[in-house]
């Protein structure tokens, strides 16, 4: 730096400090206040201190011995004396530090400085003698936070026996808690929803599809007390339940198909749809929620040879990120914590958590749990091409990989003076004990997947198909050559073969070489499979079999080299026969033939070199990262660390304070329109407390005691009285509207916007077009012909199905709760989309076919009931009749030969644009 430039910088810095000091003069000046504008400590000052100061000066940490979570503690001060001197603005250390121009002195040390308004508020409060309530209590010990204590099943609240509705609100435990709040707050619940409305609601909630007319009518005529229960039982037994709730959990667990650049996988994994199918199958079989978590986190350690369960570890495979291992593990930690624990552990990556008792070291102890794991693709029966199919799954690849704390969260700056050992945070340890981690010995098929019978058979069948194809190609080459020679004789060229015959003679040689290659390929598979089995059994004849397996590979390599040479010679012959061939092209063909000849010489020489080294039959493929950075042919470890299985056992222990509560909160939110804990991924001290803590704990206890059965919880919720309430506030008591206008206490049902998948699937279902089949590869987003349920479309960060995206499809980055928007594009999609127009036509034809008479009035009523699941009012019927007449007249004016049908289709499309079609009431 030049001297002149240094002087300019120095003057500029001095001027900045002068300007800043002048700007602070009004802040440090004596305040001007009146009795009417005195600062309210509880409303104005304490929130500032709590938000910006108590992370370092509160119950979790006391930097410099100072606590600021109460006014009394601030006045008491820390190592350097009082932080506040009531009435003395200039002498209060707190104000000195928050207004300092020196970054090393200014507080808080991270983030933006306090705003001028915030400083002015604190300054005025200090000048006003720092008044605060005498009974102000310091922050609660984090261990006493409601979410960090195991749920205890509360007693069911008593009910007022004098209430005329006592039987309605006594039959379901959920209702006892809701009714107790109603009574406590003098809230009057709404009447029950119309049976059709309830039926549509529960159909969408449990299977994501609308009821048919037959199902509506069947429910209406069933007046037995068990009518509601029978509907619920049938829906929970439907395979469509797994598809509906599978999409919910796919949101929470961040399901995503692979994305990258071209064929390069950069995120997630190819064939991740196997995990999606496992989710759906697990839900349909009512596998316990705890068991689902255990399989997702560590099926490779619990069930290392069970391919069906190994699909569950697609949860870990989805986290894959090719470029940065730290990013990969950061996302694994963050979203495992948010989705399964309802906590924001990612806050502690760079520094101690500011609200929960989670240190930066504890974050890396969590990372150490996942540090060894990698991804591989397991072969599936009948398929040897991993590009076509395979099961992506987790396994511990790098057993001795060390975990280091990253200074300030920077993975380029690890602190290698200390190795971090795996652990769970101290405040969540059960009985104060850390994880009990034990190494897991793996069965031979897990470490040598090529030993599995179906793998050997798949390789054998592939080789046999190649052999059959080579034989057919040889027969075809012989026949073509014979045909050409015969044609030459007929034309009088018996003594001189045409030029094409020479090429066909070479083509015949190529076909013969290809047959030898295929034959050697099959022989190599048999020899290697035999040696693999002997290797596992440590048989005495292993050396001999290994020699044979090794030689079979070298014979195969020589056959391929000879086949390649023949192909190169044929290409050279064809090039030479071309008229006016460029010399460069001929030279390239000659060079290729010479190179192939050299390879043949080397391969034939290698055949005679004895060796016991051979390539075991591949039964799995490692990730691209392993191909790039490690030996992709290295054997899989014979053991797994046991870290993830220990973590999974801890997570699903019935004594765990968070796991069941978080699951219940997700289930409740998707049935009732809002969660019990509003901050769905933050149950910590920064989050919002539950609106119904006793109900949350009762349901969490019930989930655990009922073997973590989610179907049991669904049944409890949707058969409750509170679930039956009307969502309308029409006719509600004025006192109820005034006391709880936002319906926090469920005096009515919450209407919800239909999710993107429901909108598309409903259209297909009403049109009679929906394909209800289960499972299989994802559908391309541009496949306009597919009639499968919407959760089967490719869903990734790069690829979004356009119609679904319009209606707030799930984000693959995180989606703990769907966004709900009402934008013009949605109405335009329902009005102008070719897909919607086609479905409207099909729906109209189905309604016409179901009409008892061809009259417009019957069509109107049936269309309304079919699409919206409610009977139209007289006014609605009259309005639709007028609309239908106008549409018919317009169709006639425009010379539509099918005027009446066209008008009915337009009317159906109008109903599809009705707000109630896109709303679950």
Give residue-wise pLDDT tens across range 260-281: 998 899 999 999 999 999 999 9
Helices and strands (H and E) in the chain: how many: 35, 11
Contact 425, 145 (CB under 8 A): no
| DSSP code string of 94-158 | HHHHHT-S-TTT-SSSSSSPPPHHHHHHHHHHHHTT----TTPPPPPPGGGSGGGS---PPPPPP
d(C-alpha 669, C-alpha 815), whole Å = 13
SS3 at position 868: helix
Token reading at 517: 């290659």
Helix (H) or strand (E) holding 405: strand 405-406
- Does the pLDDT at position 140 exceed 90? no
Q: How far apart are CA 249 and CA 96, in angstroms?
A: 51
Within a 10 A sphere around the Cβ of 713, how many other Cβ atoms? Answer: 23
Residue 782 is predicted with a pLDDT of 92
Contact by Cβ (8 Å): 696, 664: yes
Q: How many CB atoms lie within 10 A of CB 424?
A: 20
Give the pLDDT of residue 582.
Answer: 65
For the ranges 83-92, 610-619, 708-717, 886-895, the maximum mean pLDDT occurs at 708-717
pLDDT of residue 914: 94
* Residue 5 clears pLDDT 60, i.e. is over it: no
Greater model confidence, 501 or 690: 690
Rounded to whole angstroms, the Cα distance separating 459 from 380 reads 11
Q: Two tokens at 543?
A: 């050396």
Q: Are 148 and 428 in contact, with CB atoms under 8 Å apart?
A: yes
Please state the rounded mean pLDDT for residues 462-479.
Answer: 90
Average pLDDT score over residue span 673-681: 97
- Across 348-362, 364-378, 474-488, 612-626, the highest mean pLDDT is recorded for 364-378
pLDDT above 60 (res 809)? yes
Q: pLDDT confidence of 1, banded at 50, 70, 90?
A: very low
Peptide bond just before 108 cis, omega within 30 deg: yes
Q: What is the mean pLDDT of residues 476-480?
A: 86
- Under the banding of pLDDT at 50, 70 and 90, the label for residue 361 is very high
Q: Assign 2 a pLDDT band (cuts: 50, 70, 90).
A: very low
3-state secondary structure of 440: strand
Model pLDDT for residues 398-419, shown as the tens digit of each residue: 999 999 999 999 999 999 999 9
Least confident of 51-60, 441-450, 798-807, 857-866: 51-60
Q: For position 613, what pLDDT does the model report? A: 86
Do 789 and 243 touch, CB atoms closer than 8 A?
A: yes
Kindly write down the DSSP assignment for every residue of 243-271, as one continuous string. HHHHHHHHHHTT----EEETTEEEES-TT
Give the model confidence (pLDDT) of 300-347 as tens digits: 999 999 999 999 999 999 999 999 999 999 999 999 999 999 999 998
Of residues 331, 354, 249, the one with CA closest to residue 684? 354
> What does the pLDDT read at residue 60?
80
> Residue 492's pLDDT is what?
59
Q: Kindly tell me if the per-residue pLDDT of 812 is higher than 90.
A: yes
What's the pLDDT tens digit per position in 202-228? Answer: 999 999 999 999 999 999 999 999 999
Q: How far is CA 809 from the centre of its chain?
A: 12
* Tokens (6 digits) for 522: 């099959």
Report the distance separating Cα 369 and Cα 684, nearest Å.
22
So what's the pLDDT on residue 624?
A: 62
What pLDDT is recorded for position 872?
94
Residue 164 is predicted with a pLDDT of 63
Asked if pLDDT for residue 847 goes beyond 80, the answer is yes
**157-161, 472-476, 788-792: the lowest-pLDDT one:** 157-161
Of 884, 883, 750, the closest CA to residue 820 belongs to: 750
Cβ–Cβ under 8 Å, residues 337 and 362: no
What pLDDT is recorded for position 584? 66
pLDDT band at 10 (very low <50, low <70, confident <90, very high): very low
Which residues is 78 bridged to in the sheet? Answer: 81
- Residue 241: is it exposed, middle or buried by C-beta count within 10 angstroms (0-12/13-18/19+)? buried
Whether residue 487 is predicted with pLDDT greater than 80 in this model: the reply is no
Q: What tokens does 674 get?
A: 């809002």
Report the share of the chain in percent with pLDDT over 90. Answer: 61
Query: Would you say residue 393 has pLDDT above 60?
Result: yes
What sign has the CA pseudo-torsion 258, 260, 261, 266?
negative
Give the separation between CA 586 and CA 592, rounded to whole angstroms: 10
pLDDT tens by residue, 512-571: 889 999 999 999 999 999 998 888 778 888 899 989 988 898 899 888 888 888 777 777
pLDDT digits (tens, 9 = 90+) for 176-187: 999 999 999 999
Is the pLDDT at 143 greater than 60, yes or no?
Answer: yes
In angstroms, the CA 417 to CA 267 distance is 32
CA 775 to chain centre: 17
- Alpha helical stretches, state H, 652-793: 659-672, 693-705, 710-718, 721-724, 734-739, 756-766
Q: Predicted confidence band at 80 (pLDDT cuts at 50, 70, 90)?
A: confident
Q: What is the DSSP string of 444-473?
A: HHHH-GGGSHHHHHHHHHHHHHHHHHHHHH
Cα→Cα distances 879→851, 861, 865, Å: 20, 12, 15
Across all residues in the chain, what is the average pLDDT? 88
Average pLDDT over residues 851-856: 88
Q: Are 608 and 360 in contact (CB under 8 A)?
A: no
908: tokens are 């159906």
């Amino acid at each position: 730096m030049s001297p002149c430039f240094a002087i300019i910088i120095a003057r500029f810095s001095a001027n900045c400090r002068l300007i800043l000091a002048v700007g602070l003069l009004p802040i440090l000046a004596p305040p001007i206040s009146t009795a009417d504008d005195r600062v309210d400590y509880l409303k104005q000052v304490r929130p500032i201190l709590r938000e910006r100061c108590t992370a370092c000066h509160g119950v979790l940490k006391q930097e410099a011995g100072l606590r600021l979570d109460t006014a009394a503690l601030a006045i008491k001060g820390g190592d350097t004396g009082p932080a506040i001197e009531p009435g003395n603005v200039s002498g209060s250390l707190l104000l000195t530090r928050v207004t300092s121009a020196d970054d090393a002195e200014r507080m808080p040390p991270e983030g933006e400085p306090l705003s001028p308004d915030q400083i002015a508020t604190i300054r005025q409060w200090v000048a006003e003698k720092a008044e605060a309530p005498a009974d102000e209590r310091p922050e609660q010990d984090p261990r006493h936070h409601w979410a960090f204590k195991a749920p205890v099943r509360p007693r069911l609240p008593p009910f007022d026996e004098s209430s005329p509705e006592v039987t309605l609100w006594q039959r379901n435990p959920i209702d006892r808690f809701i009714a107790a709040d109603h009574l406590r707050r003098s809230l009057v619940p709404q009447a029950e929803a119309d049976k059709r409305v309830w039926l549509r609601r529960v159909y969408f909630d449990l299977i994501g599809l609308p009821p048919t007319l037959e199902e509506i009518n069947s429910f209406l005529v069933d007046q037995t007390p068990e009518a509601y229960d029978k509907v619920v039982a049938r829906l929970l037994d439907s395979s469509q339940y797994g598809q509906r709730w599978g999409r919910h959990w796919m949101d929470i667990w961040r399901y995503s198909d692979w994305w990258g650049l071209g064929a390069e996988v950069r995120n997630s994994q190819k064939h991740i749809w196997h995990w999606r199918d496992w989710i759906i199958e697990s839900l349909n079989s009512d596998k316990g929620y705890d068991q689902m978590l255990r399989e997702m986190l560590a099926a490779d350690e619990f069930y290392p040879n069970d391919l069906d369960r190994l699909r569950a570890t697609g949860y870990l495979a989805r986290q894959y990120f090719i470029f940065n291992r730290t990013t990969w593990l950061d996302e694994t930690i963050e979203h495992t914590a948010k989705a399964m624990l309802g906590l924001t552990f990612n806050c502690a990556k760079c520094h101690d958590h500011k609200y929960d008792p989670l240190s930066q070291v504890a974050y890396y102890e969590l990372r150490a749990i996942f540090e060894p794991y990698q991804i591989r693709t397991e072969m599936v029966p009948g398929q040897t091409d991993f590009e076509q199919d395979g099961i992506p799954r987790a396994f511990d690849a790098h057993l001795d990989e060390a975990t280091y704390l990253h200074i300030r969260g920077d993975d380029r700056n690890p602190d290698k003076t200390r190795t971090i050992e795996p652990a769970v945070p101290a405040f969540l340890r059960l009985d104060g004990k850390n994880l009990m981690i034990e190494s897991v010995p793996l069965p031979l098929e897990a470490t040598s997947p090529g030993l599995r019978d179906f793998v050997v058979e798949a390789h054998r069948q592939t080789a046999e198909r190649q052999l059959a194809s080579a034989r057919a190609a040889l027969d075809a080459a012989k026949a073509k050559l014979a045909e050409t020679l015969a044609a030459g004789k007929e034309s009088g060229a018996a003594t001189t073969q045409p030029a094409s015959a020479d090429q066909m003679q070479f083509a015949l040689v190529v076909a013969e070489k290809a047959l030898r290659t295929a034959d050697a390929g099959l022989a190599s598979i048999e020899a290697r499979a035999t040696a693999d089995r002997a290797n596992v059994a440590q048989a005495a004849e292993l050396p001999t079999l290994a020699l044979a397996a090794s030689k079979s590979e070298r014979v195969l390599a020589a056959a391929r080299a000879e086949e390649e040479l023949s192909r190169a010679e044929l290409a050279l012959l064809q090039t030479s026969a071309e008229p006016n061939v460029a010399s460069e092209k001929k030279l390239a063909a000659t060079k290729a033939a010479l190179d192939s000849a050299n390879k043949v010489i080397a391969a034939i020489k290698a055949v005679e070199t004895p060796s016991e080294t051979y390539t075991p039959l591949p039964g799995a493929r490692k990730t691209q990262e392993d191909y790039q950075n490690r030996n992709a042919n290295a054997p899989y470890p014979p053991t797994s660390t046991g870290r993830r299985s220990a973590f999974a056992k801890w997570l699903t222990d019935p004594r765990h304070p968070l796991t069941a509560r978080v699951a219940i909160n997700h289930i409740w939110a998707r049935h009732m329109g809002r969660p019990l804990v509003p901050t769905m991924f933050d149950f910590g001290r920064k989050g919002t407390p539950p609106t119904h803590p006793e109900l949350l704990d009762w349901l969490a206890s019930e989930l655990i005691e009922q073997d973590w059965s989610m179907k049991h919880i669904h049944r409890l919720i949707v058969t409750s009285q509170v679930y039956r309430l009307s969502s309308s506030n029409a006719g509600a008591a004025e006192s109820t509207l005034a006391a709880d206008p936002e319906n926090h206490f469920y005096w009515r049902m919450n209407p919800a916007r239909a999710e993107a998948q429901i909108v598309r699937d409903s259209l297909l279902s009403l049109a009679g077009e929906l394909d209800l089949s289960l499972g299989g590869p994802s559908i391309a987003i541009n496949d306009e012909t597919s009639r499968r349920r919407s959760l089967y479309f490719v869903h990734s960060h790069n690829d979004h199905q356009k119609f679904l995206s319009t209606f707030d499809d799930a984000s693959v980055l995180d989606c703990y709760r769907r966004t709900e928007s009402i934008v013009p594009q949605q109405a335009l999609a329902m009005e102008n989309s070719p897909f919607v127009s086609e479905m409207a036509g099909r729906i109209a034809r189905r309604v016409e076919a179901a009409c008892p008479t061809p009259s417009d009035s019957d069509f109107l009523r049936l269309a309304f009931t079919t699409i919206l699941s409610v009977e139209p009012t007289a006014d609605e019927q009259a309005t639709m009749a007028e609309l239908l007449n106008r549409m018919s007249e317009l169709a006639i004016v425009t010379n539509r030969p099918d005027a009446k049908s066209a008008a009915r289709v337009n009317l159906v499309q109008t109903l599809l644009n009705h707000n109630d079609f896109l709303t679950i009431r």
